[in-house]
Amino acid sequence: MWHTAGLRGTGSNDVRAVRLFVPEYRTLDWALLGAADNPGSRIHPDPIIHMPMATLLNVVAPAASLGAAEHAVELFRERMLVRKVKNTVGGSAHRLSHPLQRIQRDVNVLVNHPTLTLDPILEQAGRGLLGLGFTVAAF
């Protein structure tokens, strides 16, 4: 199970199978899955499927952070507009039932992902803007 402080809704789970036969044709090497020329890219025209997995994470994950930040600002603004008593919005935001604490935990976990280091992200962004195509990030 995915027992973490954040990103609990991603569905990332470990699966352990004991004494289970998996035919070779049902397996796929991670290096092939992460390549731009992966099996899915051969049958699907969508350009996003042609993007290496690490590069895709560099594109999608920051967008999730931005969306979370925008939602946090909306929640904060709503709370500030109805606040009536001074010195009360600080402690309540840390309750597990408060959406701001979930957003904070999700973003904290997200920005610690190894694919979200700045250099690979900037490299892929530059390559995309210059029309050079994407590469597999070297970590």
pLDDT at site 3: 78
Reported as a single tens digit per residue, the pLDDT across 34-62 is 777 788 888 888 887 777 777 777 777 77
Average pLDDT estimate for 96-118: 84
Arithmetic mean of pLDDT, 89-111: 85
Percentage of residues of the chain with pLDDT beyond 70? 88
Q: How far is CA 50 from CA 12, 23, 65, 100, 120, in A?
A: 22, 26, 23, 35, 18
Q: Which helix (H) or strand (E) holds 108?
A: helix 99-110
User: Would you place residue 115 in the very low, low, confident or very high pLDDT band (cuts 50, 70, 90)?
Assistant: low
The CA distance from 64 to 60, in Å, is 7
Asked if pLDDT for residue 9 goes beyond 70, the answer is: yes
- For residue range 62-93, what is the model confidence (pLDDT) as tens digits? 788 889 999 999 998 988 888 677 766 667 88
Interatomic CA distance for residues 138 and 84, integer angstroms? 52
DSSP single-letter state for residue 136:
P
Q: What pLDDT does residue 103 have?
A: 93
Instruction: Give the pLDDT of residue 72.
Output: 94
pLDDT band at 139 (very low <50, low <70, confident <90, very high): very low
